[in-house]
Amino acid sequence: MSYLNIENLEKTYGKEKVIKGFSLQLEQGELAVIIGASGCGKTTLMRILVGLEYADSGKLLLNGKDISDLKPGQREIGMIFQKYSLFPNMTVRENIAYGLRVKKCPKKEIFEKTDEMLEMIHLTEKADAYPSTLSGGQQQRVAFARAMIVRPQILLLDEPFSALDTELKKELREELKRIQRETGLTAIFVTHDREEAMVLANRLFIMHDGKIEQCGKPWDVYNNPKTLYVASFIGACNIIPTEQFKEAAGISPKAEYAVIRNEKILLKEKGYSNPKAVLIPVTVSDAVFCGKTVKYTLSSASGMILKAEMPSQEDVHFQKGDNVTAEIKKENVIGLNH
Ligand SMILES: Nc1ncnc2c1ncn2[C@@H]1O[C@H](COP(=O)(O)OP(=O)(O)OP(=O)(O)O)[C@@H](O)[C@H]1O
Ligand SMILES: [Mg+2]
């Protein structure tokens, strides 16, 4: 049996069924990322796991023990929310120490453990500051330390970095990864940011409409999506009905749709040849420079529209109106049914 077993959870609010037979297994020390669109039930699920909400049916087993009916304080599951939730009238040190004070730990132990946490989040010099004087990123680090000090069996993080700017997000992501590795923390991280999900996940779970639609290693889910929803949610792609994909005759997969990631469509000069690949003469109808990459919109003679994204290089840069060749390697065409 896995460390955490979530079995067939169901939750309805009024007439709306929000969680629909949700199941997930997690091993100890794993960092699982749940990615899903807004409103698919992520926060509701986290609230059920931590005990702020109860499921209508289904089971939660942690370390072999049924915790479905336990109160939040009895579950040893910590949670960090999207919005900063520090106590404004307590200093950083008091915020972090809170969980141990509630547990009535000896003063000396509280002080030492709080020091350790302050060091871990690199905020020792801010111990006596109040939350309102900290930056958003610093506040989330304090929230993290406050949740970690009681050594939860699982830590839940519900979009903890979504209010932060890109650079800070990346920094905190790395910090979380480091601490997770060092402490062997088991955690579930919820996000709707693709890059964040890919970077963090040991295992990635794609949630759609109240349940898991696919799970696996990030690269595997990215390269082998099992549904059209997962394919397009996890990264930009072209979805072409196979009967319209005449250019790929002979190699197009035996499925209703051919799915090709934008970056797997390579632009070559007009007249380029490669007998092993699908080559489609196209006209560039749009080219947008995005810094690291250029995003192209292409149209073929048969009216097919393709989206491509290529690294921006000085020597290859096509422009609107150019006639070029789109090259697609056979192994990069994924066949999927509706
Ligand atoms: N207490 C509640 N009462 C009624 N409906 C609710 C309640 N909480 C959530 N919902 C509904 O459940 C659905 C899922 O909400 P939830 O907050 O779990 O989504 P989410 O995946 O976390 O979205 P986001 O990415 O925007 O945070 C929404 O349609 C929401 O309106
Ligand atoms: Mg949410």
Ligand 1 within 6 A of 210 CB?
no
Q: Give the residue-averaged pLDDT of 183-208.
A: 94
Q: What digits encode the pLDDT tens for the residues 232-277?
A: 999 999 999 988 887 776 666 678 999 999 999 999 999 999 998 9
236-336 matches 4-231 in CATH topology: no
Q: How far apart are the first and last CA of the chain?
A: 34
Tokens of 69: 């009916």
* Ligand 1 atom 16: residue of nearest CA: 41
Nearest CA to ligand 1 atom 29: 39
- Percent of the chain predicted with pLDDT > 90: 74
144-148, 190-194, 252-256, 297-301, range with the lowest pLDDT: 252-256
For range 308-329, the mean pLDDT: 89
Query: Could you tell me the residue ranges of all domains in the chain?
Result: 4-231, 236-336
Question: From the CB of 54, is ligand 1 less than 6 Å away?
Answer: no
How does 248-283 read in b/e, with b if 16+ C-beta sit within 10 Å? Answer: beebbbeeebbbbbbbbbbbbeeeeeeeebbbbebb
- Residue linked to tokens 């979504």: 162
| 6 three-class SS | strand
Q: Is 109 exposed, middle or buried (0-12, 13-18, 19+ CB in 10 A)?
A: exposed
Q: Which of 10, 13, 34, 194 to mutate to test the pocket of ligand 1 (most atoms within 8 A of CB)?
A: 13
Q: Bridge-partner residues for 62, per DSSP?
A: 4, 65
Nearest CA to ligand 1 atom 10: 13
Residue 55 has pLDDT above 80, yes or no: yes
Q: What CATH code would you report for 236-336?
A: 2.40.50.140
* CA 199 – CA 180 distance, rounded (Å): 13
Q: At what angle do helices 136-148 and 166-183 cross, to 10 degrees?
A: 20
Q: Which residue has the tokens 């050594």?
A: 151
Of 3.40.50.2000, 3.20.10.10, 3.40.50.300, 1.10.3720.10, the CATH number of 4-231 is 3.40.50.300
Cα 217 to ligand 2 centre (Å): 23
* Residue entry with tokens 């549904």: 227
pTM: 0.90
Answer yes or no: is the C-beta of 13 below 6 A from any ligand 1 atom.
Answer: yes
